[in-house]
Amino acid sequence: MFADDFSTILDNPSKKYFGLEMPVFISENYSPVLKEHWGSCINNPVDYFLEIQTRAKNMPCSFISVYFNIPEPQDSKVDDVLSSCAEVLKNILQVAKVPLMIKLSANAAWDIKLAKALIPILDREVVISPIQAANYKEITDLALKSKFNHKFVMRTPIDINLTKELNILSVDNGVNASNILIDPDMGCIGYGIDYGYSIIERICLARQEGDKMLNMPIIVYAGEEAYKAKEAKSNDFAPSWGELNERALMWETMTASALLSAGANICVLWSSNSLEVLAKEFCEVVCP
């Protein structure tokens, strides 16, 4: 069941929420498991979005994240790429009936250009992610000029002090603290998840002690991180590692489960199968 809007999610921080994410750009490294899972729709961003929207409507999925994972092009192609991204967003907005997250590339400088191309097109409130220390002012300035009450995911590299500092800087720049989500950055199982886990725990402890600049929902991108791992997308392993489809599902669900158990409030996934598995574990606190 999709949330009514992101305010519903942010107003209920004691619950757990899931989102499904679709990368706009399907690279050669895109997992064959996901290619099989989603089918030919992945070749067209609007079709991909509609498939997620259809599948997820009866699941504990609260929103869809549209991931503009477009590499920064050569200077001569910048305008064409930005125009293409804007067209994709326009087409998705025409068919979207659910809360949206607009996720940028995580390249701080390139994301400023992406934000300038995408934010003016928005016809509703969305969450803009990820915003970093290197671009928070430019992107929030642009979004705050909008007539919509956009939300912001603030990402810092696994450091509680940097997390708090970026939240303070953003609030000083005009962002309402209630519109901030914390992305503490993370890895998946086998690739540094223990660091992300410990930082989430520390943020939760600081929250309990009354730190207002860390008292925001924590969001984790378990799907993206899990499918970066070769174990989730490669068959080049001994038979004892198990069948790839099952292994990839385990990599994503175990990553998500660990981070939710650490205290994360919102988890973004890439496979609806993972969402179904996790719902059985977290359903009582997931379903809005």
Each residue's pLDDT expressed in tens, for the chain with a length of 288 residues: 677 777 877 777 678 899 999 999 998 889 999 999 999 999 999 999 999 999 988 888 999 999 999 989 888 899 999 999 999 999 999 999 999 999 999 999 999 999 999 999 999 999 999 999 999 999 999 999 999 999 999 999 989 999 999 999 999 999 999 999 999 998 888 888 988 899 999 999 999 999 999 999 999 999 999 999 888 887 777 677 778 889 999 999 999 999 999 999 999 999 999 999 998 777 554 444
The domain that holds 274 is classified in CATH as: 3.20.20.20
Q: What pLDDT score was predicted for residue 22? A: 97
Task: Enumerate residues 6+ apart whose C-beta is below 8 A from 168.
Answer: 213
Count of structural domains, the chain = 1
Could you tell me if residue 149 is inside a domain?
yes
- Which pLDDT score, from 0 to 100, does residue 201 have? 95
| Bridge partners of residue 19, in order along the sequence | 63, 268
What domain range includes position 232?
A: 6-286
Residue 165 lies in a domain: yes
The answer as to whether 127 is a domain residue is yes
User: Which residues are within 8 A (CB) of 66 and not within 5 positions of it... i.e. 6 or more apart?
Assistant: 21, 22, 24, 45, 49, 89, 92, 100, 101, 102, 103
As a 3-state breakdown, the chain gives helix, strand, coil percent values, each rounded to 5, of: 55, 15, 35
Which residue from 220, 196, 215 is spatially nearest to 270, judged by alpha carbons? 220
pLDDT of residue 179: 95
At residue 108, the pLDDT reads: 96
CA distance 125 to 117: 16
- Asked if the structure places residue 152 within a domain, the reply is yes
Number of Cβ within a 10 Å radius of residue 88: 20
Contacts of 113 (CB under 8 A, 6+ apart): 78, 82
Q: Is residue 1 part of a domain?
A: no
Q: Between the CA of residue 191 and those of 65, 226, 228, what are the distances in Å?
A: 23, 9, 10
Residue 145 belongs to some domain of the structure: yes
Q: Which residue in the block uniquely carries the two structure tokens 């699941």? A: 59
Q: What is the pLDDT of residue 285?
A: 44
Predicted pLDDT at 111: 97
Looking at residue 283, what is its pLDDT? 59
216 within domain boundaries: yes
